[in-house]
Structure 1
Amino acid sequence: MTIAREYMRADEIARLTGVSLRTVRRWISEGKLPSAKIAGVRLVAKKAVLQMLAPAMREWDENDPENEDNTDPQDSIGRSSPK
């Protein structure tokens, strides 16, 4: 089923983002997450969720200590590798 892969329900978004269902519904009502009612169910495109999360994901990635120049990506515990 293609729709299930392209769209998410509010409860799924809440679980993914770690916020309450009420918050997700507020984002939808405020237009932060565009939605459509399909077959009686309000759905949000996964693409819209990812676009909304992109700034936070970039910030999280920038603050990840494993992304420092002095760490070896092969080192699973993030210690600096001898150079």
Structure 2
Amino acid sequence: MTYPAAYYQELRGRIKAVLISTTQLLPADTVTFVIELLDANELGVAEETIVDALAEAQTQIPRSVVVELSEIASAMAMDYDVAELLAPWSVE
């Protein structure tokens, strides 16, 4: 299915916002890689990379970030449970 350009622009903006809010939690090379993925319109891979890196960091993640990542994954019909993956590190 093809979506309008606005759909992808919105998702890209949401992923960039999450990236900005979690930059201090992620390795610098991961941040750079995610930016490259976004520039290449690899939105799903960019979102997965953020989730995986946050899980690997095993540090406290604001619940609002977990919720936003879950909603982004749902909007892209991704087949994994972000909330479950990040639950051990999610804080209010």
Structures share fold, TM-score greater than 0.5? no
Sort the TM-score into its range (normalised by shorter chain). 0.3 to 0.5
From the CA coordinates, give the structure whose radius of gyration is larger. Answer: 1
Structure showing the higher strand proportion among its residues: 1
